[in-house]
Amino acid sequence: MSANPKTVKRGYIRPLDLKHGKVEMAHGGGGRAMAQLIDELFQLAFDNPWLRQANDQALLTRPEGRIVMATDSHVVAPLFFRGGDIGSLSVHGTINDVATSGARPLWLSAGFILEEGFPLADLKRIVDSMAAAAKAAGVPIVTGDTKVVERGKGDGVFINTTGVGVVPDGIEISGDRARPGDRILVSGFLGDHGVAIMSLRENLSFSTSIQSDSAALHELIAAMIAAAPGIHCLRDPTRGGLAATLNEIARQSGVGMTIREDDIPVREEVDAACELLGLDPLYVANEGKVVAVCPPESAERLLAAMRAHPLGQDAAIIGEVVADEHAFVQMQTSFGGRRNVDWISGEQLPRIC
Amino acid sequence: MKYVDEFRDGKVARNLARTIAAEVQPERRYHLMEFCGGHTHAISRYGLRDLLPPEVRFIHGPGCPVCVLPVGRIDSAIELARDHGAILCSYGDPLRVPASGRMSLLRAKAEGADIRMVYSSADALKIARENPDREVVFFAIGFETTTPPTAVALRQARAEGLKNFSVFVNHVLTPSAIQNILESPEVRELGTVPLDGFIGPSHVSTIIGSRPYEFFAEEFQKPVVIAGFEPLDVLQSVLMLVRQLNEGRAEVENQFSRAVTREGNLKAQALVAEIFELRDRFEWRGLGEVPYSALRIRDAYRDFDAEVRFELPYRSVPDHKACECGAILRGLKQPQECKVFGTVCTPDNPLGSCMVSAEGACAAYYTYGQFTKITAVAEAS
């Protein structure tokens, strides 16, 4: 009679040196070293029944309702920043992509591309942070993959996460549903993540207390939907910031938008950092904010529900959807002037003077 | 934001705008050239045109260092990185400027040239120290504002005996450009460019002071008001210019007195004079060759001159035939009068220099939507 595989001792000669060790090509080679990395790091940190099966896939019970799936690759530099790291970011980002459909996120996958020579201690820090983020969100990481690339061919760690969730019946949230008259809301201060990251970039160290806003938004979104089931659009304004998100929704829905500069929440520190660098906070990335478009009659109710949640306490109604065949996003400046808020061209580059 | 919000107060702005509207004389027009790209940007970003009466018209001048950089100079910068194997350190905004053959510094970087974005000349020095086996060239561009930091880097490089550091100098001078515009036949004789006064640059003037503009006010009888870059600064300067014109005065006034004096920063001027001298001619994109309008490194520092070290010849490259940046920079045309504006030439795919930098007149018009009349159905409630 063969032994139960779950009780078989792995028998690695010595444990992974998570303090001083480095990622080696063998960690992605499919042999014992890779098995050990998975056992002693990923499996241990992400532990759940699906992973414990140790298959190449997770066997999941089909949930009721429409299934939502989203994937995102994370290549952030630096890997660690105030308010988070690439690990928690990779969990939050994908949960948010699933949740902005109105879905309840159920499972995540995690794919790692590691660069040869990357310190195992840093990898452990990232993996622990991912595990903590997934646990806090109640969304387990049920399957994964690890590859190692030669030194110089990666940037330390890249992480791809895919998320699956289900949308309750009756919820119809999509970027093409904005209608003239709808109100536009944001869940809080814009630009925190982008400024926190920029302040740590090489050649650009400036002192700021700004933390990344990286957070999983599914519970806030669930509260929003409970208060206003008729929400038309939800989106998290990540790369490209609020400006890109509004332009995307405007184009998808074939409508215009008018926002009011005075009503858009931006922290003074973020405003100041942007001023210094010649950037516009409307284009700076966020990782824990959501933009909502809803019918006018439910706007106040939605706003109250957002403000009642810790992640939405600084929420604001920032503008309206208007009829416009050009699908322009325009802003009423605090001066009473009007200007376009266009897509960004390439990346924002700092001005000379 | 202390010291910033005070200059962005909507109520004060509307009061200023009402005063301007009350003081403009309906029978006359006020054509005001804002020399600096920073003003163009502020005017567009804050929608200042919407606040002003139609009698006041802004003309966008050549004061964006990226916009006036000729194609040939960008070609040379690319050549330094690609053909001479140097690490080319550049400020952010020249990276997208179109060079010959649909090339740009960003494209050259993507193709393998070692081009790095820096935020200051000191960053370039640091890169030189960290890469002693590589030639490191600082691509120095800008008006009088960015010249002193370049001078500091050159002095520092010599003090440290850095052998692998040099500077490709493209610093240009504001007064020469203003003079060139005022002396152009269109402005001086033909009257085809109505130009009634100047909104003068603020950052440049912190270095050179307000005195260099006195010549223009006197010689050409054009009032100049040195203006800060905040929207209230611009509005207040417009009011000051309107008053000067109404009263028939042509003087240099200083709205930006919180940072600009008549003499400017003498220490910075001395430093620049120690290290740089005038070039007898320099090509400006859009304006052509302008005599005594740019700087080069003095002989005492020639070891750090990239043009000498790499024997860079200058090749002038004509702008795209359809591009009207030249006419726009001189105030002869508005951006939307250019045939390729917003069609072939956009910020994503700029053909001409005015579309590249956020401070360029075309990019400001395109980005902030002055190119089309937009009717919004619902106003803010």
Number of domains in chain B: 3
Decide if B100 touches A, using CB distance below 8 A.
Answer: no
Q: Which residue of A has its CA nearest to B370?
A: A339
Domain span at residue A254 reads 183-340
Tell me: do A19 and A148 sit in the same domain: yes
Q: Are residues A21 and A52 in the same domain?
A: yes
Contact B47 A336 (CB under 8 A): yes
Instruction: With a cut of 60, say whether residue B170 has pLDDT above it.
Output: yes
Suggest the residue from B368, B370, B375, B379 to mutate for an interface test with chain A (most A CBs closer than 10 A).
B368
Smallest CA-to-CA distance from B47 within B93, B8, B15, B6 is with B8
- Show which of A134, A167, A200 is a domain's final residue: A167
Q: Which range marks the domain in which residue B374 is found?
A: 325-380
Is A346 among the domain residues?
A: no
Nearest CB among B47, B96, B379 relative to A346 is that of: B96
Report yes or no: B66 at the A interface, CB cutoff 8 Å: yes
Rg (CA), chain B: 21
pLDDT at B370: 58
Give me the pLDDT at residue B132, please: 97
> Is A71 within the bounds of a domain?
yes
Domain assignment present for A81: yes
Q: Is there a domain that residue A175 lies in?
A: no
Show residues of chain A in contact with B38, CB under 8 Å.
351, 353
Of residues B352, B92, B103, the one with CA closest to residue A347: B92
Note whether B337 and B366 are same-domain residues: yes
Q: Which residues of B touch A335 (CB under 8 A)?
A: 8, 10, 13-14, 46-48, 51, 231
Query: Is B348 inside any structural domain?
Result: yes
A201 and A229 fall within a common domain:
yes
Of A321, A345, A350, the CB nearest to B119: A350
Q: Are residues B283 and B330 in the same domain?
A: no
* Percentage above 90 pLDDT, chain B: 62
B369 with A181: Cβ contact below 8 A: no
> What is the average pLDDT across B266-282?
96
Domain boundary among A115, A135, A167: A167
CATH of residue A163's domain is: 3.30.1330.10
- Inform me whether the C-beta atom of residue B65 falls under 8 Å from chain A C-beta atoms: yes
Among positive and negative, which fits the CA dihedral A289, A294, A300, A302?
Answer: negative
pLDDT of residue B218 exceeding 90:
yes
Pick the residue with more confidence: B7 or B189?
B7
- The answer as to whether B317 is a domain residue is no
The Cα–Cα gap between A114 and A125 comes to: 14
pLDDT of residue A7: 60
CA distance A313 to B368: 31
Q: Can you give the pLDDT at residue B378?
A: 31
Let me know if residue B180 belongs to a domain.
no
Mean pLDDT of B321-325: 87
pLDDT confidence tier of residue B381, bands split at 50, 70 and 90: very low
pLDDT in tens, B60-84: 888 888 889 999 999 999 999 999 9
pLDDT, residue A136, reads 97
Q: Identify all chain B residues contacting A258, using CB atoms and an 8 Å cutoff.
A: 376, 378-380
**One domain for residues B154 and B281:** yes
Cis peptide bond prior to B291, omega within 30° of 0: no
Per-residue model confidence as pLDDT tens digits over B337-351: 899 998 889 888 888
Q: Is residue A190 located within the same domain as residue A330?
A: yes
Residue B166 has pLDDT above 90, yes or no: yes
On whether both A153 and A278 belong to a single domain, the answer is no
Q: Is residue A348 part of a domain?
A: no
Say how far apart CA A16 and CA B148 lie, in whole Å: 54
Within-domain flag for A315? yes
- Residues A127 and A271 occupy one common structural domain: no
Per-residue model confidence (pLDDT) at position A350: 62
Test A352 with B49 for CB contact under 8 angstroms: no
The pLDDT value recorded for residue B376 is 33
Please judge whether A353 and B143 are an interchain contact, meaning their C-beta atoms are less than 8 angstroms apart.
yes
Residues A60 and A196 in one domain: no
Is B91's Cβ below 8 Å from some Cβ in A? Answer: yes
Residues of B in contact with A329 (CB under 8 A): none
Tell me the chain B residues in contact with residue A203 when contact means C-beta distances shorter than 8 Å: 117-119, 123
Cα–Cα separations (whole angstroms), residue B180 to B177, B185, B332: 5, 10, 14
What does each of the 353 residues of chain A score in pLDDT, given as a tens digit? Answer: 455 555 666 668 788 999 999 999 999 988 889 999 999 999 999 999 999 998 899 999 989 889 999 999 999 988 999 999 999 999 999 999 999 999 999 999 999 999 999 999 999 999 999 999 999 999 999 999 999 999 999 999 999 999 999 999 899 999 999 999 999 999 999 999 999 888 887 556 666 778 999 999 999 999 999 999 999 999 999 999 999 999 999 999 999 999 999 999 999 999 988 887 778 899 999 999 999 999 999 999 999 999 999 999 999 999 999 999 999 999 998 877 889 998 877 666 666 55
CATH code of residue B143: 3.40.50.11740
Question: Is B162 found in the same domain as B45?
Answer: no
Instruction: Kindly provide the b/e burial profile for residues A180-201, where b requires at least 16 CB atoms within 10 angstroms of the residue's own CB.
Output: ebbbbbbbbbbbbbbbbbbbee
A167, A195, A223 — which closes off a domain?
A167
Contacts of B93 in chain A (CB under 8 A): 349-352
Q: Within this chain, do residues B149 and B247 fall inside the same structural domain, yes or no?
A: no
Indicate the average pLDDT of chain B: 90
**Min Cα separation B248/chain A (Å):** 30
pLDDT at B160: 97
Query: What is the CATH classification number for the domain harbouring B226?
Result: 3.40.50.11750
Whether residue B363 sits in one domain with residue B245: no
CB-CB neighbours of A48 under 10 Å: 16
pTM, 2 dp: 0.83
Whole-number CA gyration radius for chain A: 22
| Residues A225, A291 within the same domain | yes
Are both B154 and B268 inside the same structural domain? yes
Lowest-pLDDT choice from A101-110, B321-330, B372-381: B372-381
User: B280 and B358 share a domain?
Assistant: no
A197 and A331 assigned to the same domain: yes
* pLDDT the model gives residue B374: 36
Q: Do A202 and A309 lie in a common domain?
A: yes
CA separation for the pair B163, B380 (Å, rounded): 61
**Statement to judge: residues B293 and B152 lie in one domain:** yes
**Residue B184, in any domain of the structure:** no
Q: Are residues B201 and B334 in the same domain?
A: no
Task: Say if strands B276-284 and B288-297 run parallel, antiparallel, or are unpaired.
Answer: antiparallel
Q: Considering its fold, how many domains does chain A have in total? A: 2
Among chain A, residues having any CB pair with chain B shorter than 8 Å are 180-181, 203-204, 256, 258, 260, 262, 268, 271-272, 275, 278, 280, 319-324, 326, 328, 330, 332-340, 342, 345-346, 349-353
Q: Do B302 and B354 lie in a common domain? A: no
Same structural domain, B46 and B88: no
CA-closest candidate to residue A157, choices A118, A199, A203: A118
Q: Is residue A291 part of a domain?
A: yes
Angstroms from A346 CA to nearest CA on chain B = 7
> Band of the pLDDT at B240, cuts 50, 70, 90?
very high
Per-residue model confidence as pLDDT tens digits over B202-211: 999 999 999 9
Q: Which of A200, A290, A304 shows the shortest CA–CA distance to A246? A: A290
B58: pLDDT strictly greater than 70: yes
* Structural domain contains residue B181: no
Sheet hosting strand B30-36, strand order edge to edge: B56-63, B30-36, B197-200, B224-226, B252-254
